[in-house]
Amino acid sequence: MKTFEKDPDAVLDYYWDWTDWLSEGEAIDEATFESSSEDLVVDSYTIAGSKVLAVISGGTGGANPIITCRITTNGTPPKTDDRSVRFEIRER
């Protein structure tokens, strides 16, 4: 699992990359997010080819919350996968 340091006041882009997982011609059709913390939130997201780019804000100093991105593809049949990222919330 990837880990990123994040200041609680920072609002930054993070991405999940499924390039090596998708079959040829397959694309991400839908993405949803789940956070293990109520104060670390996904403000918005964009699907860009084989990547999902999310704008993330918040977090409480000293916490290590996890955000999971779940995608569904446009394949026949559609595939679903989850990828999680841990955040180390630190004052900078």
Residue whose C-alpha is closest to residue 56's, from 38, 70, 43: 43
Helix (H, G, I), strand (E, B) or coil at 18: coil
State which CATH number among 2.60.40.10, 1.10.150.120, 3.40.1190.10, 1.10.275.10 fits the domain covering 2-89: 2.60.40.10
pLDDT range class, residue 3, cuts 50, 70, 90: very high
- Give the C-alpha separation, 40 to 60, whole Å: 8
pLDDT tens-place string over residues 27-56: 999 999 999 999 999 999 999 999 999 999
pTM: 0.92
Structural domain spans, the chain = 2-89
